[in-house]
Amino acid sequence: MLAPTRVDWRRSSLFIVHRGVDMKINQLEADLLELGSLLGKSEQKRVQELLKQEQKKVEKELAVKRQQKEQQARRQADPSAASKAAYTVKITNYAWDQSEKYVKIYLTLKDVHKLPSENVEVSFTDRSFSILVKDLGGKNHQMTVLNLLYPIDEKESDKKIKTDMVLVMCKKQTTKKWEYLTKAEKQSKDKEKPNVEANADPSDGLMSMLKKIYSEGDDEMKRTINKAWSESQEKKIRGEDMMDI
């Protein structure tokens, strides 16, 4: 009786995934060739613009798939590499500032400068960036910032590794000053601002605030506001009577 064959499901699944990525890369490369051919034949500016937009999308997807293929090849070459970093933690502490040309994000990570350069991966789109620091202190460190306040030039954006620090440099498309890093931060701050019209009477804003406090307050608060209001009205009346004398 033949002994059952032992299947290495891990290697088998890696092969299937790897083959799938290869097929996708081949398809995307064929799409790029076709788009280039159509672009060369097209005479309408509008059609050319649409083809160029699609070309950029395919190029971006192709770059991602090629990166995936490289990562899979490294994992196959060194099966233990996947277990070197036990888990991934999110980077939440950072600082940022800007110059006329760049928005700069500073990430403090002890000993990051001692890692091989390939362990620090940064990717950009026109409205986001993502950084992955692999196998630092037995962990992966990851940060993704979406919906940047303004578009950036992803091709001219880059990273720099310094002592205990990663500097992410987002190249501005314009020299416009950034008040916030993301749109979400701006929207959050805008909500906190009081909604006061430019030509509104300042006393209207005070009345609105008092009404809000009154409606949300307890009985004691309401009695206090009523008393203050009554005293204010009495003072007004007394002041008007004195003016008549």
Range in 4-13, 31-40, 146-155, 185-194 with the lowest mean pLDDT: 4-13
Return the CATH number of 10-81, one of 1.10.1740, 1.10.10, 1.20.58, 3.30.1540.
1.20.58
One-character DSSP codes across 30-57: HHHHHHHHHHHH---HHHHHHHHHHHHH
CATH architecture of the domain covering 85-185: Sandwich (2.60)
Domain borders along the chain are 10-81, 85-185
Q: Which amino acid is at 93?
A: N
Q: Rounded to whole angstroms, how far apart are CA atoms 142 and 132? A: 5
List, for residues 149-161, the tens digit of each pLDDT value: 999 999 999 999 9
Q: Which residue has the tokens 């314009």?
A: 174
List, for residues 186-195, the tens digit of each pLDDT value: 998 888 776 5
pLDDT band at 200 (very low <50, low <70, confident <90, very high): low
Q: Is the model's pLDDT at 106 over the cut of 70?
A: yes
Beta-bridge mates of residue 159: 168
Angle at 87 between CA 81 and CA 93, to 5 degrees: 120
